[in-house]
Homo-oligomer: A and B are copies of this chain.
Amino acid sequence: MRLLAFAASLRRGSLNRKLLHVAIDAARRQGAEVDEHPFADFVFPYYDGDLEAASGVPEGVARLGGLIEACDGLLLAAPEYNFSMPGTLKNTIDWISRIKPTPLRGKWALLLSTSSGMVGGIRGLWQLRIPLEGLGTFVHPDMYALPQGGQAFDEAGALKDAAQRERLEKMMAGYLDAVRKARA
């Protein structure tokens, strides 16, 4: 099983990238191959119907489309911006939706989020489900939201809290099981 992973934040010290890394570790320990990409590789010009009419989807969009096509599932960590998903990530999805048929159809996604507050970004993930599911992605029902991300990681980048580690491990097992069955 091959997973594509990225964290939808451009900030170098992104808490969501730290969270992605513990998720990738869990996935690998449980037998998945995971390819992580920097979000900057998936940031494209603003969607513009005239640009698309003139020159089709940008080369980077087509490349991401190929990566999605080739994977079995996506690990996607995304910060909550203003009770919803980041505009940058939505623009990436808007471009991917222009590839016909959309490579997202039939792929399995696991969504993760963290924030410095107590809610952990979960409201943003609920909004992120909508375009992904609208495009035919199987978005895993369970989502991993980590509160107080600023205090959650130790120096080696691991989750300090044993209960949170176990919750992630278990959610990952459920997700990988669903992906495996879908591939069979």
Contact = CB atoms under 8 A, between A and B. Distances in A.
A58 to B, nearest CB: 14
B126 A130 contact: yes
B97 A90 contact: no
A64 interface: no
B126 A136 contact: no
Contacts of A135: 82, 141
B131 A118 contact: no
Question: Copy number in this complex?
Answer: 4
A85 B127 CA distance: 10
A12 interface: yes
B84 A87 contact: no
- Which one of A122, A133, A137 has the highest number of Cβ atoms from chain B below 10 Å of its Cβ? A133
B138 A178 contact: yes
Interface in A123-161: 123, 126-127, 129-131, 133-139, 141-142, 147
A50 interface: yes
Contact of A87 (B88, B118, B133, B184): B88
A102 to B, nearest CB: 9
A161 to B, nearest CB: 14
Nearest to A89: B87
Contact of A131 (B84, B89, B133): B84
A59 interface: no
- Which one of A13, A43, A83 has the highest number of Cβ atoms from chain B below 10 Å of its Cβ? A83
B93 A90 contact: no
Given A81-B94, A181-B184, 17 more contacts: A10-B46, A11-B49, A81-B90, A81-B131, A82-B130, A82-B131, A87-B90, A88-B91, A90-B90, A91-B91, A118-B118, A118-B119, A118-B147, A127-B127, A127-B130, A129-B129, A182-B182
